[in-house]
Amino acid sequence: MAPEYAQSDQFRGGRIHLCDLVGLEIRDCEVSGLKIVDCYGSDVYLGGDFERVVVNDVDVTAYVEAELDRQSPTRVLARNAASPDDYRAAWDAIEALWQATLDRARLLPEATLHEQVDGEWSLVETQRHLLFAGDAWLGNAVLEEDAPYHPLGFPYGGMPPDESAKLGLTLDATPMLDEVLAPRLARMATMRRVVDGLTEAELDRVCGRKPADPYPDQDYVVRRCLKVVLKEEAEHHRYAVRDLAVLEEDAPYHPLGFPYGGMPPDASAKLGLTLDATPTLDEVLAPRLARMATMRRVIDGLTEAELDRVCGRKPADPYPDKEYVVRRCLKVVLKEEAEHHRYAVRDLAVLEAVA
């Protein structure tokens, strides 16, 4: 196993020369002034909060920021929020983003929502972290609540375990998504109430507390605290959808899905379908309505070019090997919905007559 170094300054101001650094990972570190010169390799990844980044003598800082803003416009709303209306508009966007993303997430098996992609936080861990961010910067600093920290909150990576314990955080807990979402959505609702009543005077008020004991002793103004919440939400949403796309590639089929009658049982098993399951209606509707919401987003952004695009996959392994065009795939969904709705209302009338 490769050695790990934590909470150390032994590399500060050092020089690494003619060494094999293949696979080296640097995480949660202060790297101001870091220079990588005359090195070579492939698949070099750089991620973090950098004031200036130069690659091969080209300053790419502005380009990277512009591209991130293009991909995630809510970053701009969060970063530039100044007036009460700005804060409200940013929170409107954040609420809408998470609603859509959680709808997508519910299409995946629960176990998948606990998977990490490339060592990053899982979707559930991300929700736990945003719960903590809201508890600290809103619940404690801004609102000075008696018990601001929920035990399922997940702090920033550099908080010492003993400090987390003092806040009552249970870092080793393994809650289900819905267990986390209960306090998480409640905290989001608190943020909604705060921004709805926000004034310029409140934005400029100095808080009576800091977010948590490990944070520096300094003035914390409401404006700054709420902006931290906005930026945390926007950035971690970007990470979440990035990783969710990877998870969706690996798990497009929900276990409660029911295939066409002629699909062999072994083929259904390979897709992870649990044909003998006996779920309640609500258990089925959660992923079903989430998938319908995904369809809504797809058709809302539909173009002629997208309709004519050839898909990179077929619907499932048992289907024939041939080209599947988006136009045809979406039409199958529409026709399946229409025909099976007809069957459903036909049979519902019978059931209603009996009951």
Q: Are residues 96 and 169 in the same domain?
A: yes
> Is residue 292 in some structural domain?
no
Q: How many domains does the chain have?
A: 2
State the alpha helices, DSSP H only, in the chain.
Answer: 61-71, 74-80, 84-105, 123-134, 161-166, 177-196, 200-203, 222-250, 265-270, 281-300, 304-307, 326-354
> Is residue 119 in some structural domain?
yes
> Is residue 306 in some structural domain?
yes
So what's the pLDDT on residue 287?
Answer: 87
Q: Assess contact for 275 and 265: CB atoms under 8 A.
A: yes
> Is residue 307 in some structural domain?
yes
**pLDDT tens-digit series, residues 53-86:** 888 888 888 898 889 888 889 999 999 999 999 9
Q: Are residues 350 and 230 in the same domain?
A: no
Q: Assess contact for 90 and 230: CB atoms under 8 A.
A: yes
> Is residue 107 in some structural domain?
yes
Locate 115 and state its tokens: 């998977």
So what's the pLDDT on residue 271?
Answer: 86
Q: Are residues 218 and 338 in the same domain?
A: no
Q: Are residues 213 and 76 in the same domain?
A: yes
Question: Where a domain ends, among 250, 268, 287?
Answer: 250
Summary mean pLDDT of the chain = 92
Q: Are residues 213 and 124 in the same domain?
A: yes
Q: Are residues 96 and 206 in the same domain?
A: yes
Residue with tokens 């988006």: 326
Q: Are residues 89 and 236 in the same domain?
A: yes
> Is residue 100 in some structural domain?
yes
So what's the pLDDT on residue 29?
Answer: 82
DSSP annotation of 141: I
Question: Where a domain ends, among 250, 281, 312?
Answer: 250
Residue 1 above 80 pLDDT?
no
So what's the pLDDT on residue 36?
Answer: 87
**pLDDT tens-digit series, residues 216-227:** 999 999 999 999
151: left (phi over 0), alpha (psi -120 to 50) or beta: alpha
Q: Are residues 241 and 103 in the same domain?
A: yes
DSSP reduced 3-state for 58? strand
What whole-number distance in Å separates Cα of residue 196 and Cα of residue 344? 43
Q: Are residues 200 and 97 in the same domain?
A: yes
So what's the pLDDT on residue 33?
Answer: 86
Candidates 251, 286, 288, 247; CA nearest to 271 is 251
CATH number where 148 lies: 1.20.120.450
So what's the pLDDT on residue 55?
Answer: 87
What whole-number distance in Å separates Cα of residue 45 and Cα of residue 64? 13
**pLDDT tens-digit series, residues 295-343:** 998 999 999 999 999 999 899 988 999 999 999 999 999 999 999 999 9
DSSP assignment string, 227-285 = HHHHHHHHHHHHHHHHHHHHHHHH--S-TT----TTS-HHHHHHTT--TT----HHHHH
> Is residue 18 in some structural domain?
no
So what's the pLDDT on residue 31?
Answer: 85
So what's the pLDDT on residue 104?
Answer: 87
Domain around 151 = 71-250
What whole-number distance in Å separates Cα of residue 98 and Cα of residue 187? 13
So what's the pLDDT on residue 66?
Answer: 86
**pLDDT tens-digit series, residues 106-145:** 888 898 999 999 889 999 999 999 999 999 999 999 999 9
Residue 268 above 80 pLDDT?
yes
Question: Where a domain ends, among 233, 250, 267?
Answer: 250
Q: Is the dihedral of CA 193, 196, 202, 207 positive or negative?
A: positive
Q: Are residues 323 and 238 in the same domain?
A: no
Max distance between CA atoms of the chain, in angstroms, equals: 82
Q: Are residues 182 and 319 in the same domain?
A: no
Q: Are residues 338 and 215 in the same domain?
A: no
According to DSSP, the residues that pair with 59 across neighbouring strands are: 54
**pLDDT tens-digit series, residues 146-163:** 999 999 999 988 788 889
Q: What is the pTM of this model?
A: 0.73
**pLDDT tens-digit series, residues 10-37:** 888 888 888 888 888 887 788 888 888 8
Q: Within 10 A of 127 (CB to CB), how many other CB atoms are there?
A: 27
What whole-number distance in Å separates Cα of residue 243 and Cα of residue 263? 31
> Is residue 44 in some structural domain?
no
Percentage of residues in the chain having pLDDT higher than 90: 61
